[in-house]
Amino acid sequence: MPFEVYNTLTRKLEPFRTLEPGIVRMYNCGPTVYGRAHIGNFRAYLFADTLRRWLEISGYEVRQVMNITDVGHLLDDADAGEDKIEAQARKEQLDPWAISRRHTEQFFRDLEDLGCLPARVYPKASEHIPEMLEMIEGLVAKGYAYRAGEDVYYEVAKFPRYGRLSGNSVAELDAGARIDVREEKRHPADFALWKSDPHHLMKWKSRFGEHGFPGWHIECSAMARRHLGDRLDVHTGGEDNIFPHHECEIAQSEAFTGQPFATYWMHTKFLQVDGGKMSKRLGNCYSLDDVRAKGFTVRALRFCLIRGHYRQPLNFTWDILREATSVLENLDDLVVRLRRAQSGAAGAASADAGIEEVGEAMAEFRAALDDDLNVPRALAALMALRALALEERLGASAAAQALQFVVHVAQRALGCIQVEEGSLAAEVEAKIRERNAARKARDFARSDALRDDLVRLGITLEDTKAGVLWKHKDSGAGGGPIA
């Protein structure tokens, strides 16, 4: 079964084929760095990371590019005035460049904490102004764009496919009363490629004028082209990007290059919080720090955000994160059990016992992710593996095979399962031995006090016939037995 993905452009599940064998050119719409990213933003970036991971496991070289929008485009295409980075800068009485620099750094820290593999390039809009101008000038020259004073607009009527991605038509957009009609635009749906405003702080000189800055959509077309070439295999983003952002990107890029822009357009559904839309007013635009402050790990958050299918709505509540934490602990535990079965400490007598079931679970896991990244289905396959381990139906060699799979495929794909064996500080190990001695002496008051101590240190114990197994509660890393 080949990898199949849902393509927003065709509204169908399609076999995944790249332009160049073995290489995937992937562009992910990244953040506008004017504030701290919240868990909803991360759902989209985590989807991109999961896709990248699965493509790599499938043998592709993934050329992943995620843009950083550090030039605040206008709050509004109709030019209601302010740019959001500049608005934030004014609020904080800081230089807009300082705002974008600070939030870019914070964004990278958050991505790393979430276990996202770094993209090959994180191009900044501010560093690609010449590339944008090259495209804008080209579009004017080809007749797809027109100048209005010192502004430049894209003329959607010149691009018949405009609306194909989102299912809108230029005629319907015309009827939609929500786009402010600007006098200088030939059609209400025409969008800005370049704007001019002497009051802007982030501005550049160009042949269009002294005080210009790019429109919202051109940066992605220009940066994708610069770093990946005229054509892409995959372009991702949140569902809100479908229109107008991606629709406009297609119009710009394809008009400019004369070639199809991206083969596959993949979009993540919005994350809801408490069953509704996140909003600053409700105070539920949670950041990673909010998650930590509530006592949860970022690792558990990652799991919580990727365990649902990316095209299904996903709800977030603290209770749901609590549940996800439990599930993840069981996944960590799967590794511990397999390692034990592999060493022959616990398992079936015959080394090959369970080899067939292990093979089925592994095949199901792969088939699930090949099916448009069906993570929930893949997790069920992992749970099947766990049942085999718990029921001690795996021989040493079957367990070894399963363990290799979990570490090198499942964890590599999901990025949040603890597969490392933990290490213990000497004094903690001493406490465990002391508790063992107390239990042997039937001094249960002493042994229970020591166990409570260890819990406070984040160590949970499991008493078995062979000795005590332990693990770090948050990281899930463990070891033992200690006799």
Amino acid at 214: P
Cα distances (angstroms) measured from residue 178 to each of 189, 390, 391, 417: 10, 59, 61, 46
Residues 6+ apart with CB under 8 A from 449: none
Binding mask 221-240 for RNA (x = CB under 7 A): ----------------xxxx
Q: Is 391 in the site for RNA (CB under 7 A)?
A: yes
Q: Is 170 in the site for RNA (CB under 7 A)?
A: no
User: Which span (87-95, 205-213, 253-261, 381-389) binds RNA, by CB under 7 A?
Assistant: 381-389
Task: Please give the backbone phi and psi of residue 118, each rounded to the nearest 5 degrees, phi first.
Answer: -65, 140
Q: Is 277 in the site for RNA (CB under 7 A)?
A: yes
**18 vs 286 by CB, closer to RNA:** 286
Binding mask 296-315 for RNA (x = CB under 7 A): -----------xxx-xxxxx
End-to-end CA distance of the chain: 48
Among 1, 11, 258, 281, binds RNA (CB under 7 A): 11
Beta strand spans in 230-374 (E): 232-238, 262-268, 271-273, 314-316
**239 vs 352 by CB, closer to RNA:** 239
In angstroms, the CA 332 to CA 388 distance is 15
Segment 191 to 220, residues that bind RNA, using CB under 7 A: 216
CB of 207 to RNA, least distance (A): 25
Q: Is 176 in the site for RNA (CB under 7 A)?
A: yes
Q: Is 166 in the site for RNA (CB under 7 A)?
A: yes
Among 87, 367, 383, 482, binds RNA (CB under 7 A): 383
**137 vs 361 by CB, closer to RNA:** 361
Amino acid at 441: A
Three-state secondary structure call for residue 198: coil
Binding mask 308-347 for RNA (x = CB under 7 A): xx-xxxxx---xx--x--xx--x--x--------------
Q: Is 448 in the site for RNA (CB under 7 A)?
A: yes
Task: Please give the backbone phi and psi of residue 213, each rounded to the nearest 5 degrees, phi first.
Answer: -155, 155
In angstroms, the CA 347 to CA 393 distance is 6
Closest CA to 159 of 139, 141, 173, 144: 144
Segment 348 to 367, residues that bind RNA, using CB under 7 A: none
Q: Is 476 in the site for RNA (CB under 7 A)?
A: no
Strand partners, 154: 145, 191
Q: Is 56 in the site for RNA (CB under 7 A)?
A: no
